[in-house]
Amino acid sequence: MTSFKDKGEYFTYPPVFIPRSFDVEHYLQGMKLGGTRGIRDSFIIAASTTLLSVALGSLAAYSLARFHIGGENLAFWILSVRMMPPIASILPLFLFFRSLRWLDTYQALILTHLLMNLPFAVWMMKGFFEELPAELEEAALVDGCGRLGAFTRIAMPLVAPGLVATALFCFMFSWNEFLFALILGRSKVVPITVNIAGLIGGHEILWAEISAVSIVASVPIIIIAIVLQRYLVRGLTLGAVKG
């Protein structure tokens, strides 16, 4: 947190906590070096991944939690997909996407991130759904609501805090992901993580630009976090519970 301010001096003694001058120039420079494109690309990928993961993941999670479909094994298999160390999957994925001619495209990265985020979303939501007593939905079903209705109108709103947390994390994982972004992207798709890493040159480290771009890169996430906060920390009572 200190280093956010270190735009003037870096390795000096005593450590400089407040820079001599708040130079806006570094921000502009950082943006020029591909920052804006980086943010745009990262955003497209992260947003898509998050939406897909949360939507599809919650559906699956609900099914797993309520109906215990596939038993333990299915749930575990879904999680195990995420356990694979990326190192091993990178070369096959690279070749896979290359044969589809999907290198350096958004869909390649979105799909790859789904590999990480879907299992995550499923298991997170599963945990939240399991926390929920089933009586509420039973009541709704008795009232004539279909399964899908019970899902969308009762269960989902109740796990809103969980939804938000999951969405936030999915977005973040995708936003901060580096390895796949580096290998599967090239010139048309350059997420911000690769961009920042590029500022760490062999002979010089552009600390100023790194700080600047990182701050700008963090802004979208912070905004999203603040917006979603309301749902995260909202109390539960939605007036539907009785007895």
Q: Please compute, for residue 160, the number of CA atoms within 13 A of its CA located in the half-sphere on the CB side.
A: 15
Please provide the size of the chain in residues: 243
* Range 61-80, binding other proteins (CB under 8 A): 62-64, 66-67, 69-70, 72, 74, 76, 78-80
Among 5, 15, 135, 157, binds other proteins (CB under 8 A): 15
Considering the complex, state which of residue 22 and residue 76 has its C-beta at the smaller distance from other proteins. 76
Q: How far, rounded to the nearest angstrom, does the alpha carbon of residue 181 sit from its chain's CA centroid?
A: 14
Measured distance CA(110)–CA(181) in Å, rounded: 10
Among 24, 28, 51, 91, binds other proteins (CB under 8 A): 91
Per CB under 8 A, the segment of 24-32, 43-51, 185-193 that binds other proteins is 185-193
* Range 141-180, binding other proteins (CB under 8 A): 147-148, 151, 158-159, 161-162, 164-165, 168-169, 172, 175-176, 178-179
* Cα–Cα distance list, 3 to 17, 61, 177 (Å): 8, 40, 22
For the window 100-139, what string marks contact with other proteins as x by the rule CB under 8 A? ---x-------xx-xx--xxx-xxx-xxx-xxx-------
66's CB contacts (< 8 A; 6+ apart) are 129, 134, 137
Question: CB 24 → other proteins: shortest distance, Å?
Answer: 18
Measured distance CA(89)–CA(25) in Å, rounded: 40
* Range 24-53, binding other proteins (CB under 8 A): none
For residues 34 and 195, the answer to whether their CB atoms sit within 8 Å is: yes
Scanning the structure block, which residue is given the tokens 């570094």?
26
For residues 171 and 221, the answer to whether their CB atoms sit within 8 Å is: yes
Task: Examine residue 19 and tell whether it contacts other proteins (CB under 8 A).
Answer: no
Give the count of residues interacting with other proteins (CB under 8 A): 115
Among 39, 137, 193, 208, binds other proteins (CB under 8 A): 193
Phi-psi region of 71 (alpha: psi -120 to 50; beta: other; left: phi over 0): left
Measured distance CA(226)–CA(46) in Å, rounded: 17
Per CB under 8 A, the segment of 21-29, 43-51, 92-100 that binds other proteins is 92-100
Question: CB 126 → other proteins: shortest distance, Å?
Answer: 7
Considering the complex, state which of residue 24 and residue 95 has its C-beta at the smaller distance from other proteins. 95
Per CB under 8 A, the segment of 13-21, 22-30, 43-51 that binds other proteins is 13-21
Measured distance CA(241)–CA(243) in Å, rounded: 7
Among 45, 46, 93, 189, binds other proteins (CB under 8 A): 93
For residues 169 and 89, the answer to whether their CB atoms sit within 8 Å is: no
Question: CB 178 → other proteins: shortest distance, Å?
Answer: 7
